[in-house]
A and B are shown apart, each in its own frame.
Chain A
Amino acid sequence: KNQVEQSPQSLIILEGKNCTLQCNYTVSPFSNLRWYKQDTGRGPVSLTIMTFSENTKSNGRYTATLDADTKQSSLHITASQLSDSASYICVVSESFQKLVFGTGTRLLVSP
């Protein structure tokens, strides 16, 4: 069964600190992997998207990595800000349009 698992389920960090979120997937065939940020009561906003051949991609303070061999991805947030408090969702594209969603990591950045 195609699955996307994320860890930790929730995380609290102090403002200014770094953190890393993990994503493991068993989706096959693999098309691409995306990280989204979802604020409470809002739709997901794309942070990064990577294909099989890309193993790292950055978007400002967000850096995603992908190891297609081990089927693992991580999202690293540098110098966290209060506005980073949100759910972060790892999504793997199974085929041309089918997306498999992870359950998300709820991040709280504390002042």
Chain B
Amino acid sequence: GAVVSQHPSRVICKSGTSVKIECRSLDFQATTMFWYRQFPKQSLMLMATSNEGSKATYEQGVEKDKFLINHASLTLSTLTVTSAHPEDSSFYICSARASGTGAGSSYNEQFFGPGTRLTVL
């Protein structure tokens, strides 16, 4: 089946520093990747949609200068939280949508990564 990995799984950083989270599709190519944020006991909230080779599309209320997204290849997208503050502490999850006729493509299915727990002190 389609596998999406994230790295790191957990990160603790000081306020004001930047943190980069990687999202990789391991066994399929993903033209589109999505970044979500999830607060405790709440559902996933879409932050942005990134298409390989183009600028990400951010949801309303998400600061694009604070959450930098790069989707440089068909298997890798990165989310950089710049100048992180305690209110940015959350669970960040990426997902990848298969391109072409691969796994899940008939349903336009998204495959989710395991998530990254960010704690900003």
Identify the A interface with B (CB < 8 A): 31-32, 34, 36, 41-46, 49, 51, 89, 93, 96-97, 99, 101-104, 106
**B70 CB → nearest A CB, Å:** 19
Interface centre among B6, B107, B113 (most CB of A within 10 A): B107
Residue of B43, B44, B97 contacting most chain A CB atoms (<10 Å): B43
Instruction: Find chain A residues with CB under 8 A from B111 CB.
Output: 46
Among A43, A49, A103, A104, contact of B109 (Cβ-Cβ < 8 Å): A49
Separation of A78 and B93 alpha carbons in the complex (Å):
29
Identify which of residues 46-71 in chain B touch chain A, using a CB-to-CB cut-off of 8 Å: 46, 49
Q: Determine whether the beta carbon of B110 is less than 8 Å from that of A99.
A: yes
Q: Confirm or deny: B112 has a beta carbon within 8 angstroms of a beta carbon on chain A.
A: yes
Residues of chain B touching chain A, judged by Cβ–Cβ distance below 8 Å, are 4, 6, 32, 34, 41-46, 49, 91, 93, 95, 97, 107-115, 117
Find chain A residues with CB under 8 A from B110 CB. Answer: 97, 99
* C-alpha gap A28/B16 in the complex (Å): 41
Chosen A-B contacts, 24 in total, with CB atoms closer than 8 Å, are A31-B108, A36-B112, A41-B91, A41-B117, A42-B115, A43-B4, A43-B93, A43-B114, A44-B44, A44-B112, A49-B107, A49-B109, A51-B107, A89-B43, A89-B44, A93-B108, A97-B32, A97-B34, A97-B49, A99-B110, A102-B43, A103-B42, A103-B43, A104-B43
- Which residues of A sit under 8 angstroms from B114, Cβ to Cβ? 42-43
User: CA of A44 to CA of B113 in the docked complex: distance in angstroms?
Assistant: 8
CA distance A29 to B19 in the complex (A): 37
Looking at the assembled complex, report how far the CB atom of A91 sits from the nearest CB atom of chain B, in whole angstroms.
Answer: 9
B6: chain A residues at CB < 8 Å are 43
Q: Please give 19 more A-B residue pairs, beta carbons under 8 A apart, in addition to A45-B112, A93-B108.
A: A32-B107, A36-B112, A41-B91, A41-B115, A42-B114, A42-B115, A43-B112, A43-B113, A44-B44, A46-B109, A46-B111, A89-B43, A97-B32, A97-B34, A97-B110, A102-B43, A103-B42, A104-B43, A106-B41
B49: chain A residues at CB < 8 Å are 97
**A34, A42, A43 — which one has the most chain B CB atoms within 10 A of its CB?**
A43
